[in-house]
């Protein structure tokens, strides 16, 4: 861990040094651009003076033209160099950011490992609790099934008792109807008997007179 961290820190330092070198290169290209621009301007002025001098300044005009051409080429070369330097700056910046992030990640890696371990422990504990809940649900489901069977048996018993009570009630009803009919018959017979007694009593009275 320390070896890797030191390596990244060393790389970060080298990137910083490389950035300093790029700054120096950029300074040199800026100087070259400035010199080339001034040289081109001087060559242009020299060409104008050579043209005014006529045939006497013709040779000098040719030299001034060559200098102006070299100045243009120098400026073009500097532009190419500046483009490369700019790309290097961007790459260097990206590399420096990656190196910095890597250092931060390595510095916090121990905390990450501990947090990850704690997270896994919590996950295992949650799974164990879920298993316990599932077991409890299974036990309660079995108990509920037993209770349902018992309730079904009780309902069957109640149904049988109700049927028996209905049958007994029906029998009692039929018996009470029969007894009622018997009492009606007895009452009718008593009425007839009383009527006979009254008739006899009347007959006796007539006989006495």
Q: What is the tens place of the pLDDT at every residue in 159-185? A: 566 577 667 767 766 766 666 666 666
Residue 177 confidence (pLDDT): 63
Domains and CATH numbers, the chain: 2-107 (1.10.287.950)
Residue 155 confidence (pLDDT): 57
Residue 3 confidence (pLDDT): 43
H or E segment at 146? helix 109-208
Alpha-carbon gap, residue 194 to 209, rounded angstroms? 23
Parts of the chain with a pLDDT under 50: 1, 3, 207-208
Alpha-carbon gap, residue 3 to 105, rounded angstroms? 14
Residue 88 confidence (pLDDT): 74
Give the long-range contacts of residues 107-116, CB within 8 A, separation 24 or more.
Answer: 107/5, 109/1
Nearest-10 crossing angle of helices 2-53, 58-107: 170
Per the CB < 8 A criterion, the answer to whether 57 and 50 are in contact is yes
pTM value is 0.38
CB within 8 Å of 112: residues ≥ 6 apart: 105
Residue 1 confidence (pLDDT): 47
Residue 76 exposure: Cα atoms within 13 Å on the Cβ side: 6
CB within 8 Å of 49: residues ≥ 6 apart: 57, 60
């Amino acid at each position: 861990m320390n070896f890797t961290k030191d390596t990244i820190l060393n790389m970060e330092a080298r990137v910083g040094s490389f950035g300093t070198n790029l700054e120096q290169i950029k300074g040199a290209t800026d100087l070259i651009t400035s010199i080339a621009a001034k040289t081109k301007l001087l060559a242009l002025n020299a060409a104008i003076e050579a043209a005014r001098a006529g045939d006497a300044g013709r040779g000098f005009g040719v030299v001034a033209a060559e200098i102006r051409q070299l100045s243009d080429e120098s400026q073009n070369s500097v532009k190419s160099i500046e483009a490369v330097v700019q790309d290097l700056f961007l790459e260097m910046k990206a590399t420096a950011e990656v190196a910095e992030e890597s250092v931060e990640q390595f510095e916090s890696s121990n905390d990450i490992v501990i947090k990850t371990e704690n997270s896994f422990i919590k996950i295992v504990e949650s799974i164990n609790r879920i298993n316990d809940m599932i077991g409890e649900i299974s036990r309660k489901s079995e108990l509920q099934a037993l209770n349902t069977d018992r309730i079904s048996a009780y309902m069957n018993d109640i149904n049988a008792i109700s049927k028996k009570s209905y049958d007994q009630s029906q029998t009692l009803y039929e018996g009470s109807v029969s007894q009622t009919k018997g009492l009606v018959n007895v009452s009718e017979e008593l009425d007839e008997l009383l009527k006979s007694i009254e008739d006899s009593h009347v007959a006796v009275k007539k006989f006495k007179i």
